[in-house]
Structure 1
Amino acid sequence: MTCSPTPPSPTAHSVPRDSTAPVPAPALKRAVDWAIVSRRSIRAFLPTPVGLGEVHAILDVARHAASGMNTQPWRVHVLTGSAKERLSAAIAAVDNDGNAAGALTEPYHYYPLDWVSPYVDRRRKVGWDLYGLLGIAKGDKARMHAQHGRNYRFFDAPVGLIFTVSRALQAGSLLDYGMFLQSLMVAARARGLDTCPQVAFTKFHQVIHAELGIPDTEMVVCGMGLGHANPACIENTLVTERESVESFTTFHA
């Protein structure tokens, strides 16, 4: 079989898409592995600014994530400064109103309706490990609410991201979206930045739609804080446990 010549790309890319690695293979492997393994959900950020040019560069890498039939379902809203503050304040006003918060609905089910083991055990462990670091006792609903409310300030990250997807698409596009989000977070790590993907935003989708002028044809997928981790905050010492390869893999020969 003879391959046809590759036509020139119609668009310019800031990162070359050729097959030549920019560094020797051993260094490349270490760098990529480090960016993936060192990614953690950061829950306290420094106020150090992140330039919009840097955010654009990260998105420019992430846009090359795989998607079924090249549908590229992602839509991204980048929030900084007063725009981020306005959204956080609008969500906080609803979150702190018991009646209003109780009437909220999710745009889609991210978590199972009925939790079973081992998933519920992992969920509980990460929650109590975090609260343990913060000194929040079981049953202290006021402090739990306050800590959870920090989600809606993007944990004080200088950049907040809100992701949406067309309602015309189906569940497969959420799989594609996961690859896009992971690519974004790995690209951020390669630049010395940290992230926290946040599904907590979804139940405030109506507030987000109103504040950002998002049409009803779009659905909120999640939010994300982006910036530099604050090393002085104890919550950033949380490292979640991961199962071994052998626990989830069956090799067939």
Structure 2
Amino acid sequence: MHVDAAIRSRKSVRRFLPLSIPRHVVEHILQVAARAPSGNNVQPWHVHVVSGQAKQALCADLHTAATTQAEQHSAEYHYYPDNWFEPYQGRRRAVGFDLYEALGIERDDLPARNQQMLRNYQFFDAPVGVLISLDRRLNTGSFMDLGMFIQNIMLAARGQGLHTCAQAAFAWYHQIVRRHVPLADHDILVCGIALGHEDREAPENRMETPREQVANFASFHGFHEREASPSTLA
């Protein structure tokens, strides 16, 4: 798969088929992903992969915690701003509305919305769950390195014909995760990643999130129009 095709076809898949993935495929994906850029070659990522009974046991405990003890859990880092503002709030709302519309869930149907949220803790039925952590003694630059590593996982998965969903939702339940995998005390649980074969019949997987045009987020300086024309670059 051409890298452009991998990037363009990557998306957040929220329903997977019950098809197993061999360990060697997951190891290959992680080996490729580990070529991510890393300042001074620190390579700050730590990974725990769960499948089979190990995944089922983790998911069962996560579901219990999320339904009965949610107020007792919190993430160890701030992913989103404390106070939303535009244009980010509008984009956030739009993707939420689009997802619930695809699922046929009304905006005021809080029980149905909550049930969809809880599916995070089943890795959306993916056969493999990947848990990503980072040593808390490192600094902001290592978060950037980790982001590139996570992106590499998702693109390498596309190269194997697989799909993913990166899930910050797991960060809130790091205490539960620590009971199931050897997550070091000095590690922050950053996210989970669902990995598997896309269920192409699922309506939520047909949703495509929009992206801003380059002109809306980039400026160019010192170029000539002739240099930037497609005919010149071909």
TM-score (norm 1): 0.86
- The one of 162, 174, 195 equivalent to 1:226 is 195
| Aligned equivalent of 1:12 | none
Unpaired runs of 5+ residues, structure 1, are: 1-29
- The one of 106, 109, 115 equivalent to 1:140 is 109
| Aligned equivalent of 2:228 | none
Residue 96 of structure 1 aligns with an amino acid whose one-letter code is T
Give the greater-gyration-radius structure (CA): 1
What do residues 149-207 of structure 1 show as CA deviations (whole Å, max 9, x unaligned)? 00000000010000011111111111000100111111110111000000011100111
Residue 59 of structure 1 aligns with an amino acid whose one-letter code is L
Residue 114 of structure 1 aligns with an amino acid whose one-letter code is N
Distance in 1 (alpha carbons) for counterparts of 2:151 and 2:190: 14
| Aligned equivalent of 2:184 | 215
Residue 186 of structure 2 aligns with an amino acid whose one-letter code is T
| Aligned equivalent of 2:84 | 115
Distance in 2 (alpha carbons) for counterparts of 1:67 and 1:154: 28
Residue 168 of structure 1 aligns with an amino acid whose one-letter code is R
Ranges of 4+ aligned residues in structure 1 off by more than 6 Å: none
Q: How does 1:83-232 map to 2 (within 5 A)?
A: 83-97=54-68, 100-232=69-201
Is 2:55 the counterpart of 1:55? Answer: no
- The one of 41, 46, 49 equivalent to 1:75 is 46
Distance in 1 (alpha carbons) for counterparts of 2:188 and 2:13: 25
| Aligned equivalent of 1:243 | 212
TM-score (norm 2): 0.93
- The one of 15, 25, 30 equivalent to 1:44 is 15
- 1:230 partner SS: coil
Distance in 1 (alpha carbons) for counterparts of 2:129 and 2:72: 25
Q: Identity across aligned pairs (percent)?
A: 45
Distance in 2 (alpha carbons) for counterparts of 1:198 and 1:48: 20
Residue 86 of structure 1 aligns with an amino acid whose one-letter code is A
